Amino acid sequence: MRISWLMIAGYGLLMAAFDAACGASYDEMWRPQVHYSPPAMWMNDPNGLIQIDGQYHLYFQHHPASKVWGPMHWGHAISNDLMHWTTMPIALAPDSHGAIFSGSAVQDRQHSSGLSVQEDQPIVAIFTYHDHEAEAANRVEIESQGAAYSLDKGRTFQKLPSPVLANPGKRDFRDPQVQWNAASHQWLMTIVATDHVEFYTSADLKKWNYESEFGREQGDHSGVWECPNLIRMTGVDDGEAHDVLMVSVGPKGPSARGGVQYFTGRFDGQRFRMDPGSHAQWLEYGTDYYAAVTWNRDTTPPESPPVLLGWMNNWLYATKVPTDPWRGAMALPRNLKLAGRTPTLRLEASPLQALTELRDPGRHQDRIDAGQWASFPASTSPMSGAYDISFQLTMEGDGEALLALENGVGQSVGIEIDPLRAKMTVRRHTSGHVDFDARFSDPLEAALPLGRSEHDVRIIIDRSSMEIFFDNGAATLTAQVFPDESFDRLRWVGGADVHLHDLAIYPLRSIWSSQSGHEAENP
């Protein structure tokens, strides 16, 4: 088996896969127009998110030979604005240590790794090797951490000959997030081991020392823990520094859907402690948001809010979604904000300003009466199907409100808002193609901010997805949809003492219409 993977990993085949992928039109049915998706074949988690010389790099879990998950590679795309992407040749392929699972990338500004050539600062990718042969033989030690470095700003990588962190006897031991810890002047690796997070430190990115663990008794444990992400943030309300630890929890069992949970607290260089009195929280209420991690940025400390990217899918049905010739898209990159005060700090996530720059002229309506609908204005640019919709809801009583996104062939998504229970329910069972998995039709529920009579709602629709940002991202819900025609109208069913006003609907220009999206040369 390993031999055939090595063959897939052969450079010739990789380039052939890349060339074949370049045939994508990016105008296929359900093709996201303002989100990144690979030209062809399978994609899951974002990996190695790093900004180098102002340019954003997105590596991703990729199977270049199939639309179903398999021997993982790191695909690669580059952007100057986090919206328009150019797909690059595959960055990392499986080798005799295993397939290339999720991980991160750093720039070795300190020249600590000994991998620099003269003044060049290498980009070092640290990822998980997953040994499928050892897994088939039922061995426990199937995951170790490998490293590769790039001297051409993340375009091509040279692997280090052996893993930099061996498996300590734990079956799931993966998804290292590496960052420079300026306070302790060493590298920090945050990694998951089945049901908890472990922290390791290093002086040179090659030899790692175990420091501590976190989480066996905290948070949700309905599935395996994956893709940890520790970031330091300044609270917008208290102006103080806090550490936020995010962990994805895989879906397990018939009801668990998985998702991204987070903990707020303090990392002291060795150990993470939750704020006393705080609880684990969910980052998102949709089913289609997973493995979210933040960009490593140029500046230390970072000047702007962290930017988060999540995979817009769910392991429950990811291998069955009906898209072709690709499967898997990223959600919109989101600015993260830490609001509130200890011990009830919470993350808020909202689209980047760069998204608004894709707006075509829109339509505004001061008020829309119950029972009426507003059609989306046509885009003046080609390859439409993406819209940026916002409105205000004023709730004067406790009555529920209902609105629906609809198309011309009778398909719809219903959005119910229940102010009394501070709850939003999204129903997509009549949204089009839903029968590829029974669980896809389950209603999605979000807890809304309490005690407000005025709510701000923004919905980004993109052919096969909708992302709802409630009250500037205090609650977010991401859901895939596969209608036969793009949704093109909003129906306000209304509700007792609820008013929908200040409606604005902008068509969004396709990020793919102005470029091929997959140039082989450097952008």
Contact between 508 and 14 (Cβ < 8 Å): no
Residues present in the chain in total: 523
CA distance 28 to 271: 48
502: left (phi over 0), alpha (psi -120 to 50) or beta: left
- Residue 404 Cβ, how far from ligand FRU at the closest point, in Å? 32
Which of 33, 44, 287, 510 is in the footprint of ligand FRU by CB under 6 A? 44
Is 45 assigned a catalytic role? Answer: yes
Q: How many CB atoms lie within 10 A of CB 510?
A: 26
Residue choice 51, 102, 112, 510 for contact with ligand FRU (CB under 6 A): 102
Of the candidate residues 128, 350, 379, 407, the single one contacting ligand FRU (CB under 6 A): 128
Catalytic residue among 27, 45, 366, 418: 45
Tokens representing residue 400 in the block: 């529920």
Q: Is the CB of 192 or the CB of 404 nearer to ligand FRU?
A: 192
Residue 226 in contact with ligand FRU, rule: CB under 6 A: yes
Q: Does residue 49 belong to the site contacting ligand FRU (CB under 6 A)?
A: no
Of 102 and 350, the one with the shorter C-beta distance to ligand FRU is 102
Distance CA(382)–CA(507), nearest Å, equals 11
What minimum distance in Å lies between the beta carbon of 325 and ligand FRU? 20
Q: Closest approach of Cβ 406 to ligand FRU, in Å? A: 33
Q: Output 130 or 458, the one with its CB closest to ligand FRU.
A: 130
Task: Kindly write down the DSSP assignment for every residue of 66-90, as one continuous string.
Answer: -SS--S-EEEEEEESSSSS-EEEEE
Site for ligand FRU in 333-362 (CB under 6 A): none
Strands 123-130, 412-418: pairing kind:
unpaired
Q: How far apart are CA 67 and CA 79, in angstroms?
A: 24
| Cα gap 40→205, rounded to integer Å | 34
Judged by CB, which is closer to ligand FRU: 39, or 46? 46
Q: Which is nearer to ligand FRU, 72 or 461 (CB)?
A: 72
Residue 416 binds to ligand FRU (criterion: CB under 6 A)? no
User: How far from chain centre, in Å, is Cα 487?
Assistant: 23
Q: Are 413 and 493 in contact (CB under 8 A)?
A: no
Q: For the CB of residue 130, give the shortest distance to ligand FRU in the complex, in Å.
A: 7
Closest to ligand FRU by CB, 314 vs 425, is 314
Contact 411, 431 (CB under 8 A): yes
Q: For residue 227, state whether it binds ligand FRU (rule: CB under 6 A).
A: yes
Q: How far is the CB of 264 from ligand FRU (least distance, A)?
A: 23
175 touching ligand FRU, by CB under 6 A: yes
In the complex, minimum distance from the CB of residue 268 to ligand FRU, in angstroms, rounded to a whole number = 27
Least CB distance to ligand FRU at residue 203 (A): 26
> Contact at 8 Å (CB) between 281 and 266?
no
Q: Does 291 bind ligand FRU (CB under 6 A)?
A: yes
Q: Which is nearer to ligand FRU, 26 or 289 (CB)?
A: 289
Cβ closest to ligand FRU, residue 175 vs residue 400: 175
With CB under 6 A as the contact rule, the residue among 9, 49, 72, 78 that binds ligand FRU is 72
User: How far apart are CB 174 and ligand FRU at their closest, in Å?
Assistant: 5
CB-based burial label for 119 (10 Å; 0-12, 13-18, 19+): exposed
Instruction: Tell me whether residue 174 or residue 458 sits nearer to ligand FRU (CB atom).
Output: 174
Judging by DSSP bridges, how do beta strands 326-327 and 41-52 pair with one another?
A: parallel
Min dist. Cβ of residue 100 to ligand FRU (A):
9
Selection from 264, 160, 286, 177 nearest residue 226 by Cα: 177
Closest to 311 (Cα-Cα) out of 232, 390, 258: 258
* Residue 313 touches ligand FRU, criterion: CB under 6 A: no
Q: Which of 35, 39, 41, 45 binds ligand FRU (CB under 6 A)?
A: 45
Cα→Cα distances 192→104, 225, 338, Å: 13, 6, 24
User: What is the DSSP code (8-state) at residue 15?
Assistant: H
Cα dihedral 35/151/178/224 (nearest 10): 60
Residue 210, number of CB atoms within 10 A of its CB:
12
CA-nearest of 103, 122, 104 to 112 is 122
Residues forming a β-bridge with 404: 414, 491
Residue 101 is a binding residue for ligand FRU (CB under 6 A):
yes
Contacting residues toward ligand FRU, per CB under 6 A: 44-45, 61, 72, 101-102, 128, 174-175, 226-227, 290-291
Active-site residue numbers?
A: 45
